[in-house]
Amino acid sequence: MDLQILTYLMAGTTFSLYIGIALWSKASSTNEFYIAGGGVHPIANGMATAADWMSAASFISMAGIISFMGKDGSVYLMGWTGGYVLLALLLAPYLRKFGKFTVPDFIGDRYYSKIARFVAVLCLIFVSFTYIAGQMRGVGIVFSRFLEVDINTGVIIGMAIVFIYAVLGGMKGITYTQVAQYCVLIFAYMVPAIFISILITGNPIPQLGFGSKVLSEDIYLLEKLNNVLTDLGFDNYTDSTKSKIDVFCITGALMAGTAGLPHVIVRFFTVPKVRDARASAGWALLFIAILYTTAPAVSSFSRLNFINTINNSSYEKTPEWFKNWENIGLISWADKNEDGIIQYGPGNSHEPVKPIFSKQRGINGERIVSNTLTENENEIYIDRDIMVLANPEIANLPNWVIALVASGALAAALSTAAGLLLVISSSISHDLMKKIFRPSITDRQELFLARLAAAVAIGIAGIFGIYPPAFVAQVVAFAFGLAASSIFPALIMGIFSKRVNSIGAITGMISGLLFTSAYIVFFKFISPELNLPDNWLWGISPEGIGVIGMMINFISAIVISSLTEPPPDKIIRLIDDIRTPE
Amino acid sequence: MKINNSQKYWRANLGIVFLLLLFWFLSSFGAGILFSDYLDKIKIGGFNLGFWFAQQGSIIVFVFLIIIYCILMNKLDEKFNKEKN
């Protein structure tokens, strides 16, 4: 069957499933809207957390990034999963025992301060919107490539779906649609990975195929990949090129950032008991690990396949997918030596890196770029985000697999967007309105406000999707850096210290936040030309600076607290209470 | 000062968390980053060991750490609740 019809069919089926679930699990109180009534089974919560957490970045971009970074890409694998260990051991059980609705709830109560709550709300809104922008780009790419609709139409369809289940269903609706979305996305990720693993290595388990020999050759896959890459002038795939301190800090920032992300933390408020919170963190990581241990295998398979298919083949004979992605503008080819044959190698094929297409076509039918071509021999630009989506096509898999991958990518993007919208709406209706500005509102008014805030947030997210900010890739560093340097330390000290008081915590959050954002804004926005290892503080890139911001937060909070009054007795009792099992 | 039950529970809890975090650190920051190049000299199947820890091993260790944490904490909770009654 035609790929487009198949994609419509699969996307349509999964979308109706999500809406059906949402209508069945509509929220009727703030309790159900914010935390799904607190009665979610740990395994269901584990799946929902996995879908909530694994975004378009995990599904679409991560394997592609690793594919081009090799061992350096490991920071994402370790950072994004290692954060769960912190979450499970240091945060989830205590925050569940605390038993309120939102992350600012905990910070506001523990530090007995509306200012602390307000600062937490600001961090939360900034982190969450940053994240949503990334999801919308993912939705846009999938819609424009596979459904061949205008990106704007695609974004509006996506928004409408999220609107129905997030605004009506609240946390309850989101939880059960996320369970379905997890099933869709993991199936969609595994099927092509298994196919390709069999094609390349003969081993049906991609995690093992990754370390196996290439079919009918007496050489290991990774060895072969190293050979192919070094022949072309690249570094070894399995060697690291970045400085150790930077890799160390990026991994640390991603871990602490993951543990401090509000939309993930809030999922642990939805289970009945403390022991369920612990168990569901375990289930969540297990479900996540299925994808995360497959991703590096997919990375190596797709890099090898890509080189084998493209390098030294004539443009005219390249497969359809190459031209399709070129038409969307995510691949470009500039025939530098005018031989009609594609040469791939290290370095950027042109400056600036992203292609700017003119209206003309070259003699081979390729799109002509108006960028300045570089001196090196590389003629190819390929956007890293397309590797996972193009992978099944590169490997010549049947159309239904390609359609499945498209539906999986949509599930990953929509589930994360919904989770984020919910924490934004609850922080506005609950933390800002109910707890700070208008304490007199009733439960029903609060619920209405929550729905209204969700609807407005979807509107803003939609604008991000239709006018995608060019800085999406840069702001991702921001989201993790900020979560690591503001929310994470405040939560940790709130649980593990009885001495840190409100003034200490507020100073800590603000100083961590200011330091980290100043560093990132300087290198990413004000003077991007200076963004080089020589200019960095101790050789730490903006992606890893959250770790230093986190240290600043911890140190200033502890120093200021020790110089001022300890927290009142009722706070000490609160801490004792969250530390004791039920 | 006499140490009461909750303090004992809290100390045992911190001990478990500290021990598990040690393994968390060793498998990721240790084997995956700091000693990774050294471990790369050891080959298991098609993997260099350091590379394997950085891309797969650490994640597998993480899953086991959380499972062990759940088991140990559930036991600790039971013990604590028995002593309390």
Total Cβ atoms within 10 A of residue A373: 15
Q: Is the pLDDT of residue A419 over 70?
A: yes
If you average pLDDT over residues A415-426, what whole number do you get?
Answer: 82
Domain A3-305+397-468 = CATH 3.30.70.1450? no
Q: Is A278 on the interface with B (CB under 8 A)?
A: yes
Task: Identify the pLDDT of residue B64.
Answer: 92
Question: Angle A56-A411-A105 (CA atoms, 0-180°, nearest 5)?
Answer: 75
- Please, which pLDDT band fits residue A520 given cuts at 50, 70 and 90? confident
What pLDDT, on the 0 to 100 scale, is given for residue A36? 66
Q: What is the pLDDT of residue A230?
A: 75
**What pLDDT is recorded for position A153?**
77
Which of A86, A285, A580 has its CB closest to that of B9?
A580
pLDDT score of A449: 77
- Give the domain ranges of chain A: 3-305+397-468, 309-394
The top-scoring range by mean pLDDT among A448-452, A457-461, A493-497, B44-48 is A493-497
Name the residue with tokens 């003119």. A358
Domain assignment present for residue B40? The answer is: yes
- The total number of structural domains in chain B stands at 1
Is B4 a domain residue?
A: no
The domain containing residue B55 runs over which residues?
15-84
Reading the block at residue A283, the tokens are 């289930």
Q: What is the mean pLDDT of residues A111-118?
A: 85
Helix (H, G, I), strand (E, B) or coil at A299: helix
Backbone angles phi, psi at A100, to 5 degrees: -115, -160
Whether the predicted pLDDT of A514 surpasses 80? yes
pLDDT of A471 strictly over 60: no
| Highest-confidence segment of A7-16, A214-223, B76-85 | A7-16
- Confidence check: pLDDT of B74 > 80: yes
What is the dihedral angle through the alpha carbons of A204, A210, A213, A215, rounded to the nearest 10 degrees? 50
Residues whose CB falls within 8 Å of the CB of residue A25, separated by 6 or more in sequence, listed in order: A169, A172, A173, A175, A176
Instruction: Average the pLDDT over A386-399 and give the result.
Output: 79
| Residue A316 pLDDT exceeds 80 | no
Question: How does pLDDT run across A14-35, given as a tens digit for each residue?
Answer: 888 888 887 777 766 777 766 6
Mean of pLDDT values over A521-530: 73
Beta strands in B1-78 (DSSP E): 43-44, 47-48
- Whether B26 is covered by a domain: the verdict is yes
Contact between A89 and B47 using a beta-carbon 8 Å cutoff: no
pTM: 0.85
Evaluate the omega torsion of the peptide bond into residue A272 and state whether it is cis, within 30 degrees of 0: no
pLDDT tens per residue, range A351-360: 777 777 777 7
What single DSSP character describes residue A353?
A: S
Asked whether the beta carbons of B55 and B63 are under 8 A apart, the reply is: no
Q: Residue B61's pLDDT is what? A: 92
B1: confidence class by pLDDT, cuts 50, 70, 90:
very low
Can you tell me the distance from the alpha carbon of A348 to that of A527, in angstroms, rounded to the nearest whole number? 21
Helix or strand run (H / E) with residue A260: none
In this predicted model, what pLDDT tens digit does every residue of B34-43 receive, in sequence order? 777 777 777 7
Residues of B at the A interface (Cβ-Cβ below 8 Å)?
Answer: 6, 9-10, 13, 17, 20-21, 24, 28-29, 32-34, 36-37, 40, 44-48, 51-52, 54-56, 58-60, 62-63, 65-67, 69-70, 73-74, 76-77, 80-81
Per-residue pLDDT at B3 exceeds 70: no
pLDDT tens, position by position, B8-51: 888 888 888 899 889 998 888 877 777 777 777 777 777 777 77
User: Helix/strand/coil (H, E, C) string of A358-421?
Assistant: EEEECCCCCEEECCEECCCCCCEEECHHHHHHHHHHHCCCCHHHHHHHHHHHHHHHHHHHHHHH
Give pLDDT, residue A1: 63
Residue B61 falls inside a structural domain: yes
A205 touches chain B (CB under 8 A): no
| A11 vs A7: CA distance, rounded Å | 6
DSSP A28-88: -SHHHHHHGGG---HHHHHHHHHHHHS-HIIIIIIHHHHHHHGGGGHHHHHHHHHHHHHII
Percentage of chain A with pLDDT > 70?
Answer: 93
- Nearest alpha-carbon partner for A33 in A414, A413, A411, A434: A434
pLDDT exceeds cutoff 50 at A306: yes
Which has the minimum average pLDDT: A240-254, A324-338, A406-420, A551-565?
Answer: A324-338
Q: How far is A569 from chain B (nearest CA, A)?
A: 17
Q: What percent of chain A has pLDDT over 90?
A: 3
The mean predicted confidence, pLDDT, of chain B is 81
Picking from B44, B56, B62, the nearest residue to A85 by CB comes out as B62
Window 246-265 of A: residues touching B by CB (8 A cutoff) are 247-248, 251-252, 255
pLDDT of A113 over the 70 cut: yes
> Which pLDDT does position A552 carry in this prediction?
92
- Integer CA distances (angstroms), B33 to A70, A252, A293, in order: 14, 11, 17
Q: Which residues, numbered 19 to 78 in chain A, qualify as contacts with chain B under a Cβ-Cβ cut-off of 8 Å?
A: 66, 71, 74, 77-78
A81/B44 Cβ within 8 A: no
Q: Which of B11, B20, B33, B43 would you mutate first to test chain A, the one with the most A CBs within 10 A?
A: B33
